[in-house]
Amino acid sequence: MRHRTFALLVSLLLLGLADSAPAQTFVFGAQGEPVQLDPAVITDGISSRITRQIYDSLVKYKGATTEVEPALAEKWEVSADGKVWTFHLRKNVKFHDGNPLDATSVLWNFERWWKSAHSQHENQVKAGQTFEYWEAQFGGFDDKSIVEKVEAVGSHTVRITLKAPQAPFLANLAMFVFDIASPKAVEKWGTEFGKHPVGTGAFKFVEWKPNQEVILEANPDYWGVKPKVKRVVLRNIKDNSQRLVALKAGEIHGMEGLNPDDVKVVRSDPNLQILLRPTNTTGYIAFNYKVKEFQDKRVRLAFAHAINKRAIVDALYGGTGLVASQFQPPSLWGYNKELKDFEWSPAKAQALLKQAGFAQGLSEITWEDGKREPLVFWYMSRSRPYFPNPKEIGEAMAADLAKAGIKVQLQTAEWAVYLDKRKNGQLPVYMLGWTGDNGDPDNFICYFFCSPGAPREGFYSNKPLADLLLRAQSLTRQAERARLYRQAEQMLQEDVGRLFIANNQPPLAFSKKVKGYVTNPTGSEHFNTVEVQ
């Protein structure tokens, strides 16, 4: 044994990993250390990238879309009133610890997420962990939740009754947080389960070396597409440039978190390829409606005509950005294809300003309480997928605005302060954005526009829009909902309620040897289809 290990190591040393890495292993460069591997309590992409390989949910996102298809549940029915969902589980599925997946184990998982008195819920909360996404997607815990009851009505049939229909119900269930864990394993490890994850997924957990890597191995009994590699290693490489160096050196096969400037570098390397994740993120400029000038639609429209989005996207998104005409990105089924974007025209912007009484341009604002101050445009201090270079993008927009006679002062603050000020409605005009959780338009648009007058949304109030969105939320037929979301986008645009600047398609880089990696807008990507040639 020792000789074999020795021989293997020597050959690794001699040949370098690039040439010798057995195609049986897929090494992925992760952006950092996972928080933990219990899907129910995590919220970050680094951890969920790993848990998605180990666990399955009842339903999953189909390929590169946000449409939902069967997973652990092979089929389901919903009652006419949209409140009772019956899921028929796949038979002969086993957790990695050998225990069978059945209705009881699914019921157990739901109760753990939902009931605060459940022993494995209570101990997590005591340890400082919360079931944050359950609370967010299903209205809260215990009686507060939209879930009325969950029952095992047969060995492989689960019935979930809701208090009211919830349109994004299936999309919610496909989220990584609602992956089904082995009840026996959770009970065995308690709050340490996140270090000893057990699911039904395509890969089994092998080892987690802190600050280094997580190792998984193929589950030969997987119910779905059998994994094409024997092992998956997720290496933690914090720095974006260094991760690319490791990819170029052949030490890893794929990575995410590419600097916008490096996209070109990867594209020009004959050994590498770029895959774009369908966009699920939108950057915007929000107005504060306590500022008198912004209460005038002509002023908002002047902003819309002044900013040259195309130039910003071309110059500052590394070729992976898209011009946004509306809030929802094109990958969402509520996207309005008919909607035309504002034309870029500084002359039009100037004319509008003139009409609004600012013939000399706009450089000062008046708050509702009469306080006057210079017009400050706030840009983010932290890079986000929707604004990968917030400072440069802010500067470009300020330059565009200046050409139309709107003179802004650029300002930023430490991220926490920025969010704090935004939450309290203290920023006159600012950059921010959103990345969707579950591919449902409700998750994108309702969060912002369903509560009119909220300080965090700059006191924007559009009651008809909010009513429309709430109606869309209560329906279950997708076609009907899609129509309402398209209408909502149009209303938002007609009112120039907010300016949507760009969507981004986060780039992933791979060695050309990698085939079969399917990107998904939600970032839920399964490695079982990945081959390394």
DSSP state of 210: T
Rule CB under 8 A: is residue 18 a binding residue for other proteins?
yes
Minimum separation from the CB atom of position 480 to other proteins (A): 29
How far from 206 is each of 62, 78, 97, 232, 238, CA to CA, in Å?
A: 27, 38, 12, 10, 22
Pairing state between β 231-236 and 25-30: parallel
**Given candidates 50, 246, 349, 375, which one binds other proteins under the rule CB under 8 A?**
246
Rule CB under 8 A: is residue 414 a binding residue for other proteins?
yes
Nearer to other proteins (CB atom), residue 9 or residue 153: 9
Task: Measure the CA angle with vertex 173, ends 504 and 59; round to 5°.
Answer: 95
Rule CB under 8 A: is residue 432 a binding residue for other proteins?
yes
Minimum separation from the CB atom of position 11 to other proteins (A): 10
**Given candidates 91, 144, 188, 209, which one binds other proteins under the rule CB under 8 A?**
209
Rule CB under 8 A: is residue 212 a binding residue for other proteins?
yes
Rule CB under 8 A: is residue 123 a binding residue for other proteins?
no
Rule CB under 8 A: is residue 512 a binding residue for other proteins?
no
Nearer to other proteins (CB atom), residue 212 or residue 411: 212
Please provide residue 50's backbone torsions phi and psi, each rounded to the nearest 5 degrees.
-80, -45
Tell me the C-alpha distance between 487 and 260, whole Å: 34
Contact between 513 and 530 (Cβ < 8 Å):
no
**Given candidates 23, 419, 482, 491, which one binds other proteins under the rule CB under 8 A?**
419
Contact between 404 and 305 (Cβ < 8 Å):
yes
Tell me the C-alpha distance between 233 and 25, whole Å: 7
Minimum separation from the CB atom of position 416 to other proteins (A): 3
Rule CB under 8 A: is residue 261 a binding residue for other proteins?
no
Q: Of 2-10, 150-158, 389-397, 466-474, which part binds other proteins (CB under 8 A)?
A: 2-10
Minimum separation from the CB atom of position 526 to other proteins (A): 21
Minimum separation from the CB atom of position 265 to other proteins (A): 11
Rule CB under 8 A: is residue 5 a binding residue for other proteins?
yes
Nearer to other proteins (CB atom), residue 375 or residue 432: 432
Tell me the C-alpha distance between 344 and 304, whole Å: 8
Q: 37's torsion region: left (phi>0), alpha (psi -120 to 50) or beta? A: alpha
Rule CB under 8 A: is residue 12 a binding residue for other proteins?
yes
Give the number of residues in contact with other proteins, rule: CB under 8 A.
51
Binding mask 58-97 for other proteins (x = CB under 8 A): ----------------------------------------
Q: Which two tokens stand for residue 446?
A: 């309702």
β strands within 5-155, DSSP E: 25-30, 56-57, 59-61, 68-70, 73-78, 84-89, 147-154
Rule CB under 8 A: is residue 487 a binding residue for other proteins?
no
Minimum separation from the CB atom of position 239 to other proteins (A): 6
Tell me the C-alpha distance between 493 and 497, whole Å: 7
Instruction: Count CB atoms within 10 A of the CB of residue 5.
Output: 9
DSSP state of 291: B
Pairing state between β 84-89 and 157-162: antiparallel
Determine the straight-line distance between the first and last CA of the chain, rounded to whole angstroms.
27
Binding mask 133-152 for other proteins (x = CB under 8 A): ---x----------------
Question: Which amino acid, residue 244?
Answer: L
Rule CB under 8 A: is residue 383 a binding residue for other proteins?
no
Q: Of 89-97, 210-218, 465-473, 477-485, which part binds other proteins (CB under 8 A)?
A: 210-218
Q: 230's torsion region: left (phi>0), alpha (psi -120 to 50) or beta? A: alpha
Rule CB under 8 A: is residue 423 a binding residue for other proteins?
yes
Contact between 512 and 266 (Cβ < 8 Å):
no
**Given candidates 23, 32, 74, 151, which one binds other proteins under the rule CB under 8 A?**
32
Tell me the C-alpha distance between 418 and 100, whole Å: 49
Minimum separation from the CB atom of position 401 to other proteins (A): 25
Return residues touching other proteins (CB under 8 A).
5-6, 9-10, 12-13, 16-18, 25, 27, 32-33, 35-36, 127-129, 132, 136, 191, 209-213, 215, 231, 233, 235-239, 241-242, 245-246, 248-251, 413-417, 419-420, 423, 432
